[in-house]
Amino acid sequence: MANGLDDVIAAETVISEVNGRVGRLILRGLPLNDLVESHSFEQAAERMLDGFLPGIKTSRSDLKPLLGNARSDMFAYFRNRLPGGQAHPVDALRTCVAQLPDGDDLNTALNLIAAPAVLLPMLLRQAKGLAPIAPDPEAPHAVDMLHMLTNTDIDQPNEQALETYLMTVMDHGLNASTFTARVVASTGAGLTSSVLAGLSALKGPLHGGAPGPVLDMLDAIITPENAEPWLQEKLDRGERLMGFGHRIYRVRDPRADALKLAISKLPGKSGRLALAEAVEKTALRLLAKKKPDRPLKTNVEFYTAVLLEALGFPPESFTGVFFAGRVVGWIAHAREQAQTGRLIRPQSLYVGPRPQDAA
Ligand code: ACO
């Protein structure tokens, strides 16, 4: 039995490759940094979905207006359908996405990509008693998402930072949420069902729920001098340091550096970045001492927390922003599974009593 399915290959894919030994991520043939430097969010999404949905063209110019219209449609659809109360944003997002019709077509995919970008700002503003801001279908996706959140003009460094984030987390091999999405797709269910399942898997703190606790950690540490005693106490209590360790990477997660670079370009954020760097350095030293045989390095979630905070997202919304990027990968994988895979149905090893034992 492979507990946690370590090293089990459960799909062939053309979407992404994670090399945990050298710390390299390839997305549709391009190293992560090349994709981020040469593509907008819309172009990257188009590249990821190319070949999986009729109507997606390879000319790299079609998705922007289609996605803009989908944002407007999602705003109109959800305007009077938001859950009330003070639900956690991920729970509210799940409730909303579950209302969308299922399907395997381009329109369903566009609505699913547009939905988190529109819904998260609507939900966050509703929680503060503020009116929602309508999307601008002509604006770039990342700009529009930030504008709907803040109702301010979005400058280029902020646009670039969110775009970098959304592309950096777009896909990452057969991680827990993507595998979940593929399992659902393998039964013949539609994209909405697969995305809803992926979102449910993303929520947990061992996967996409880590950056909120990372920020709590930085807030509790306050200054670099406090890092060592605070982190050591956590480790002594047998707790995990959020933002460190990974199932696949034995070296630093390349996404951490992509995000760190994006933060360094944001004006006025150097103090927070300096604290994060000091905490990271101390954490890596303490983890190496505690687990000399198990390399535990910085993962994507550590600098995600710093970047999303700098962009004005509250910690409880970080998993929802992750959803806004990763949804593209889930859709590509769900379609790939439907096109090339079989029903995913592994075996379990029964270790309970047998009839003769029970008698
Ligand atoms: N802090 C302290 N110890 C750790 C950490 C950590 N962050 N991560 C792993 N360990 C320890 C475990 O306690 C375990 O010790 P043991 O053998 O004495 O029991 C050992 O390292 C191996 O851990 P596993 O749980 O087997 O590693 P696994 O590959 O299953 O876990 C995971 C990977 C879940 C990411 C883990 O490193 C972790 O919990 N990290 C903190 C949460 C986090 O940052 N999650 C985001 C991951 S990135 C993403 O999903 C987008």
Catalytic-role residue among 141, 147, 246, 333: 246
Residue nearest to atom 34 of ligand 1 (CA): 206
Query: Residue 239 has what pLDDT?
Result: 96
Instruction: Tell me what the mean pLDDT of segment 315-340 comes to.
Output: 97
Answer yes or no: are the C-beta atoms of 202 and 188 closer than 8 Å.
no
- For residue 159, give the amino acid letter: E
| pLDDT tens profile 166-183 | 999 999 999 999 999 999
The answer to whether the CB of 338 falls within 8 A of the CB of 220 is no
Q: Residues 42, 280, 301, 309: which is the catalytic one?
A: 301
> Average pLDDT, stretch 119-130?
96
Distance (angstroms) between ligand 1 centre and the Cα of 142 equals 31
Determine whether 209 is exposed, middle or buried from the number of CB atoms within 10 Å of its CB (0-12, 13-18, 19+). middle
Residue 54: the pLDDT is 80
Mean residue pLDDT of the chain comes to 94
Tokens of 89: 């944003």
Give me the mean pLDDT over the 86-98 stretch.
Answer: 95
Q: Is the pLDDT of residue 357 over 90?
A: no
Atom of ligand 1 nearest to the CA of 245: 37
Q: What residues have CB less than 8 Å from 68, skipping those under 6 apart?
A: 135, 136, 137, 138, 139, 141, 144
Does residue 246 have an active-site annotation? Answer: yes
Q: What per-residue confidence (pLDDT) applies to 57? A: 65
Average pLDDT for 218-224: 96
pLDDT tens digits, 286-320: 999 999 999 999 999 999 999 999 999 999 999 99
CA of 310 to the centre of ligand 1 (A): 26
- Closest CA to ligand 1's atom 46: 207
The pLDDT tens digits for 148-157 are: 999 999 999 9
Residue 235 burial (10 A CB sphere; 0-12, 13-18, 19+): middle
> Is-contact 263 273, C-beta < 8 A?
yes
On the question of pLDDT at 351 being above 70, the answer is: yes
Instruction: Place 339 in a pLDDT band, splitting at 50, 70 and 90.
Output: very high
How far apart are alpha carbons 219 and 213 in whole angstroms?
10
Kindly tell me the sign of the dihedral angle through the C-alpha atoms of 60, 38, 264, 300: positive
